[in-house]
Amino acid sequence: MPHGRTAVLTGLGTFVPPRVVTNEELSRTMDTSDEWIRTRTGITQRHWADPGTATSDLAVEAGERALKSAGSGEADLVVLATTTPDHPCPATAPEVASRLGLRGVAAYDVAAVCSGFVYGLASAAGAIAAGLAERVLVIGAETYSTILDPEDRTTSVIFGDGAGAVVLRAGDATEPGALLGYDLGSDGSLKDLIIVPGGGSRQRSAAAAPGAPEPDRADAYFTMQGKAVFRHAVTRMAASSRAMLDRAGWAADSVDRFVGHQANVRILHAVADQLGMARERTVVNLDRVGNTSAASIPLALADAVADGQVTPGDRVLMSAFGGGVTWGSTALVWPEITAY
């Protein structure tokens, strides 16, 4: 087995659907306002996919751009992090790989909700370390608009659709772009904090019991206990980030940019405060795209690169919290790449 093989980020690509949904548009169909949304989340708009567009469509677009960024259309493995697969079965990643011309390669989905991209990176890095792959395409893609209750202002105003992808290659831990380790965790006792209650074996089995009531149509929609999620997200992301900083041997004040899961600007600032990091070092793009779940970190990275917030040589810390509940962090020194 190869020794010392490290996953090195060598390509970055993103895609959001062209349709922009503003706070004002949402306020015309539900009991909310631009001020209410902005003051509680920091979001001013989000992108939603047009009818007929699926998660795989966004994933293919982002994947193509990441492969272009990496300078090669080749990958040995495709890892797709998503909460909104095209179908409950089969996984969406094999179709994405096929449409990208990567027929015959290994491909699978990762379901860790908003932590999915970090989990995907760790999974891909493991395949590289084990010698199973030389190049891995990791994609976070979501069409949350398909699972939102259009009458629930606590969720519909928060989430957007989009996809972000990176290419990892086998390399050395001393190279810029090398992922310097991971911190991952979960607590299944809190599964009800972020959940789509219906659509799985639990609902189908319960519905088959004698005398069982008809399934509630509302169970098909995403639900979230916002206040509890806020509290756990801050605590878990801060602790995970500290663990990752220890693994990397970095002090918090040496981090140039903190790229956290783009759920809520108040969460991002609270995590930075707990780490003793200046809020100005926090990358924020959720005001323009909303919470895109597994796609949020690569989308934020691409925007930060485009506007010069992240430059080659910068120390970048990434952290996320999602349903399950799950959490995870990783870090790298930013490489010289062109994002698409």
Residues with catalytic function: 114, 261, 291
Characterize 14-28 residue by residue with b for buried, 16 or more Cβ atoms within 10 angstroms of its Cβ, and e for exposed: bbbbeeebebeebbe
Provide the H-helix boundaries in the chain.
Answer: 23-27, 34-41, 55-70, 93-99, 116-129, 153-156, 201-207, 226-248, 265-275, 286-289, 296-306
Q: Backbone phi, then psi, for 75, in 5-degree steps?
A: -155, 145
- For 8, residues 6+ apart whose C-beta sits below 8 A from its C-beta are 168, 169, 170, 171, 172, 175, 177, 178, 179, 335
Q: Residues 28, 157: contact at Cβ < 8 Å?
A: no
Q: How far apart are CA 208 and CA 214, in angstroms?
A: 10
Handedness of CA 47, 52, 54, 59 (dihedral sign): negative
